[in-house]
Structure 1
Amino acid sequence: MILVFGQSGQVARELARRVPDARFIGRTEADLSRPQELKAIIDLAEPSAVINAAAYTAVDRAEEERDLAMTVNGEAPSEMAAACAAQGIPFVHMSTDYVFPGKGDAPMAPDAPTGPINAYGQSKLAGELGIRAVGGPHAILRTSWVVSAHGANFVKSMLRLSETRDKLTIVADQIGGPTPAGPLAAACLAAVEALKNDASVSGTYHFAGAPDVSWADFAREIFRQAGRDVVVEDIPTTAFPTPARRPHNSRLDCSTLDRLGISRPDWKAELTEILKELETA
């Protein structure tokens, strides 16, 4: 039985579709702001593997709630990893491109120097460091721009805005790979199986949709596929200030994914499926 921390998030909901017999732990059962309680939950469940699909994801609010973000994203995954290592079972954790400073225009490899520019990224990096320090069988999947038919995400925001707007200004100087939650969930499961077969594949991987694109061009493709007549005007990041700084370069080098037997998903094809699901919802 796979134990999944997370229940209502985008990836957790996609995991539930693929492994309905997994056990999903929500906030009422596991409060990640109390990491010291997590070992007992894992020990009692006696799972074959653990996937952490829960996190503090409020990027801007993290600037004011640094301690909470650090606890949930830094200390909690470290405690999960330690419990899994003690049992000798795989631990799969999702991280983010925000652990990088986001400079230049080259895709960042898993071993590229980190240097987060906001509190959220710092908290996620702390989680990575804690997991690696434990040394058990693990896979850290860094991802970016997660979207699906569930929860709050860029696709749903664009569709909502298009109901009342025929022109939108969208940031065009941040480039990354939109990542559909379905393939990301499948990647987590593939990582579990790979670790069960060979613990030496433990490490950090990048998993993001292809091709890389700006937020503005991503929005254009959403409107094109959805048949929405909306004009997108490119703007720089400086024209849309936020409490937390965003990296300009979120391109991820995903070339090592073959070690897990997976590859980058085509986000345009997956977007088509997301829109179909939203139409029938």
Structure 2
Amino acid sequence: MLEIKHPTVSGAAAEGNRQKFVIAPLEPGFGHTVGNALRRTLLSSVPGAAVTHLRFDEALHEFDTLQGVVEDISDIVLNLKDLVLRSHSPEKVQLRIDVLGPAEVTGAHFGVNPDVEVLNPELHVATLNGRARFAADVTVERGIGYSGAETRPASSTIGDIPVDALFSPVRRVAYEVEAIPGERDTASDELVVDVQTDGTVTPSEAMATAGGILRRLAQLVESLAEVSLPEGMDPAAASEIPSDLLRPIEDLGLSERPRNCLKRAQVTTVGELLSRTRLELLAIPNFGEKSLDEVTARLDEFGLALASGD
């Protein structure tokens, strides 16, 4: 029988937004198993914030031109995608920028907002000549992974420009596995994970978030071998939602909007839904408070609840 060793995690001193973590000792082969799982989760599932929509006062679409502005709108959109943002709100936040030329428009021109911080105010956005005016509304949302502009619902607002959004605050993840020599049958793996973020979260915070996601998924798989009902489930509801947790989320009877949002986020079963926290659901694009209230209400009817924590 394989006896799993009890590894520890230690972090080296952070260098800016970069930090290395050592996980050891691991059973031979587990270094790559854990390292690959952490890397993929760090890059795809840590919540962050990004620009999702843009509307200029004096332009109707992304192929229009702004008088007196050196860059075309396509270049401005690319520049805005490089904004490093920290959002404290689960809802959409609209930022306003209004600058008269001659001037260089930067991230600092968004000013102070209680819900959104711009961590790279020096970022170049546009160059204005003469008395040109740069006036626009920028929408910031929280989410996970990547969201293409084409996946967003059509807006009725004239001049609204959807923007491709990379929400992930994790910029780079690399890992190495080294063998720790030992006596026969006692050799171990040492996993070194190198994490670099954009500064909106620290590498240790990103690692903790990824670890929490993997832990909840592992607990979900572990629960399949248990005869008892999941924690918090009313036995009377067992006939309506089976304890195997593999039934599709359609069985909850959700309306179209939250159901489609969950599917796009790869949440397709009741068990996968129960592994998510409120904050993780709110980070899903277009999944707002109303959708969250509906989901929690339906789960409550069956004696179920979302995962606890942030």
Question: What is the TM-score with the length of structure 2 in the denominator?
Answer: 0.22
| Structure with greater proportional helix content | 1
Question: What is the TM-score with the length of structure 1 in the denominator?
Answer: 0.24
| Structure with greater proportional strand content | 2
